[in-house]
Amino acid sequence: MNSDFDTYRLSEDHEAIREAVREITAARITPYAAAVDEEARYPQEAHDALVASDFFAPHVPEEYGGVGADALATCIVIEEVARGCASASLIPAVNKLGSMPIILGGGEAVKKRYLTPLAAGESTFSYGLSEREAGSDTASMKCRATDNGDGTFTLNGQKAWITNAGVSQFYTVMAVTDPDGPRGGNVTAFVVEKSDAGFTFGEPERKLGIKGSPTRELIFENCVIPEDRMVGARGEGLKIALRTLDHTRVTIGAQAVGIAQGALDLATAYVKERKQFGQAIAQFQGVQFMLADMAMHLEAARQLVYVAAAKSERHEGDLSFFGAAAKCYASDVAMQVTTDAVQLLGGAGYVKDFPAERMMRDAKITQIYEGTNQIQRVVMARQLLR
């Protein structure tokens, strides 16, 4: 009997991608993860490995020189890299975040100009939405783009908490173009290039986790941008930004799943080796119950992320709910699983000799960025109450 259940599995292509990324991560990314964290340096080894293997920006369509990976394949790439190094997994994740506004709203000329070098691995691509006083409330942003009337705009203001700032050559930046216009309908998206005059960076933030991914302010002081770098129509910037997040929150869910899987792998191996009271601690039922709960919640998170990825690929109408749910649930699970992993390792979990404490620190940010989990619950509730 032919059944729909036969199709409820990843395709052979998806499994092949997982295997390839897992091998690359084990050989060329994980071995540097501790040093990247300790030295708070950009994971250049991972960057180079991802470029060489076409996993650097796998989401870029083939017509711009990319491999055209679907949303689920992109999530698998991010998940597998995050198992070994959360900081490194932000390279493909933020490349999608920074370029997704162009994919969703950009004209053909802008797409060719910026997606082509991204696909070639010539630059990472960052995303400038948040400000110090405009985090969850993005519509209250103050960064301004003033129309000069000669085919250019002048940017003034700042953006905060920008991932891979200073490393990226390209930045999709949201700025107010009509200060007297309707709230939320007065923002326009632009591409800013690192070399633009009047564009500088704040000092690197000193962070709890993901220390290998630089986070800095973007500072604009009379930075002149040609009009042809506008992404979408004037006034559509915030709409494009929020549509982008519907898609990219799924990738943060994938990152969270990867971090949690790495922690579960570590904890499982440790409890089989660690002996107390004459036997491996894996033999104790209390430990077994912890592992079972960790694995159960992790698998539920993974399935939710994959369903959301499929909806992202199809641009389905309920993506806002599923993107928020996947990001929120998976990040909560990642925090719980990594905390439990530290507990299972005991004193060894609390020292840097083992990666458990790094994974716990890295997991925390997944509950905060691309919208806090409190905001995700607001998004989900609004969808339910529509």
Backbone angles phi, psi at 226, to 5 degrees: -65, 145
Bridge partner residues of 190 (DSSP): 173, 230
Active site residue 370: yes
The dihedral over CA atoms of 55, 57, 62, 63, expressed in degrees to the nearest 10, equals -150
Q: How distant is the alpha carbon of residue 113 from its chain centre?
A: 23
The answer to whether 60 and 68 have CB atoms below 8 angstroms apart is: yes
How many CB atoms are closer than 10 A to CB 264?
22
- Entry field: residues in the chain: 386
**d(C-alpha 54, C-alpha 7), whole Å:** 27
The answer to whether 192 and 199 have CB atoms below 8 angstroms apart is: yes
The phi-psi region of residue 42 (left if phi > 0; otherwise alpha if psi is between -120 and 50; otherwise beta) is beta
The answer to whether 222 and 198 have CB atoms below 8 angstroms apart is: yes
The answer to whether 92 and 57 have CB atoms below 8 angstroms apart is: yes
Name residue 79's amino acid: E
Q: Map residue 346 onto helix, strand or coil.
A: helix
How many CB atoms are closer than 10 A to CB 278?
6
Cβ neighbors of 77 (< 8 A, separation 6 or more) are 17, 21, 55, 58, 69, 92
Q: N- to C-terminal Cα distance for the chain?
A: 40
Residue located via tokens 């085919």: 151
Q: Which of 131, 217, 236, 370 is catalytic?
A: 370
**d(C-alpha 294, C-alpha 288), whole Å:** 10
Tokens of 272: 């089989």
Tokens of 267: 């904890």
Catalytic residues: 370
